[in-house]
Amino acid sequence: MKGEKMSNKKENIKREMKETFNKIAKSFGEVGPKYWDEFGNRLVKLSNIKEGAEVLDVGMGRGASLFPAIKKVGENGKVIGIDISENMVKETYKEISIKSIENAKVLVMDVDKLEFNNQSFDNIIGGFVFGYFLFSENRFDEILRVLKKGGQVGFSMWGNQEDQKWLNKLIKRYIPVNKKSENKEKSTIPDFSTVEGVKKILNNSGFKNIKVYKEENKVIYKDKNEWWQEMWSNAARNTLEKIDNLGRSEIEEFKKEVFNELEEFRCEQGFCFTMPVIYALGTK
């Protein structure tokens, strides 16, 4: 029964993710500061990807990790990117075609049902998809199945976002959270916002040679409108649409409150945020 509830929860998340990322695919990573590219580059740099390697990028989005991996494996290597969003795949394929890249391909695929043979890849990387694996009892089974023995995984995920707490608090005023449901979910899903929490998850999942790093990053928006537009171009759009659906006055009031709160982050260059990112590596 517990497994069934977890599976249903994951299917709901999957549907929402697919819908949201199909909407934002064209503008994702194109609006505002280029932090997705920075984090993608960093993940590939930390990963032990060798020239000639075969690499799988799960939840590739618009290729923040994919393109650095393509460069790292060289002409003799191969990179496959997969995403559940058809539009993300479509937009990334366009870029691959424009750049005349021949050692990579992108596919629409569910990470829970990988259409590859056992032990197919030297490396598997995934930027900001780590939490998704935790919503089912299978967790990393498919990743381990298609990863070669001795192969390495590399994941990135958000650390504790202190500079986002005001936003979460504000959102809850417009979209009330079921406390009972929230507490139950917290008890089911292990903490992956700390280095120790991530180490524990990877260790319990059977990975070896685990290395986990936390890095602080400064992300700067030139003005409040850029911040607002970027939120509509990433996964936060799903939440903003829910507030928008409450009515025009609600979304306008929400935006007004957001802009007031943003004053706290005003800096010489614009509006500055500290965004901690955790990078996690492990081998099979």
For residue 16, is it within any domain? yes
pLDDT at 1: 44
For residue 94, is it within any domain? yes
pLDDT at 179: 57
Task: Give the chain's radius of gyration (CA, Å).
Answer: 19
CA separation for the pair 248, 127 (Å, rounded): 34
3 state SS for the chain:
CHHHHHHHHHHHHHHHHHHHHHHHCCCCCCCCCCHHHHHHHHHHHHCCCCCCCEEEEECCCCCCCHHHHHHHHCCCCEEEEEECCHHHHHHHHHHHHHCCCCCEEEEECCCCCCCCCCCCEEEEEEECCHHHHHHCCCCCHHHHHHEEEEEEEEEEEECCCHHHHHHHHHHHHHCCCCHHHHHHHHHHCCCCCCHHHHHHHHHHCCCEEEEEEEECCEEEECCHHHHHHHHCCCCCHHHHHHHHCCCHHHHHHHHHHHHHHHHHHEECCEEEEECCEEEEEEEC
Helix 237-244 vs helix 248-262: crossing angle, to nearest 10: 130
For residue 254, is it within any domain? no
For residue 264, is it within any domain? no
pLDDT at 132: 87
pLDDT at 12: 84
The SS3 of residue 274 is strand
For residue 111, is it within any domain? yes
The count of domains in the chain is: 1
For residue 113, is it within any domain? yes
For residue 170, is it within any domain? no
Residue 71 amino acid letter: K
Instruction: Say which CATH number the domain at 71 has.
Output: 3.40.50.150
Q: For residue 100, give its domain range.
A: 2-163+192-218+274-283
Predicted confidence pLDDT, tens digits, the chain (284 residues): 445 555 677 788 889 999 999 999 999 999 999 999 999 999 999 999 999 999 999 999 999 999 999 999 999 999 999 999 999 999 999 999 999 999 999 999 999 999 999 999 999 999 999 998 888 777 899 999 999 999 999 999 999 999 999 999 999 999 987 655 555 555 578 899 999 999 999 999 999 999 999 999 999 999 999 999 999 999 999 999 999 999 999 999 999 999 999 999 999 999 999 999 999 999 99
For residue 186, is it within any domain? no
pLDDT at 186: 53
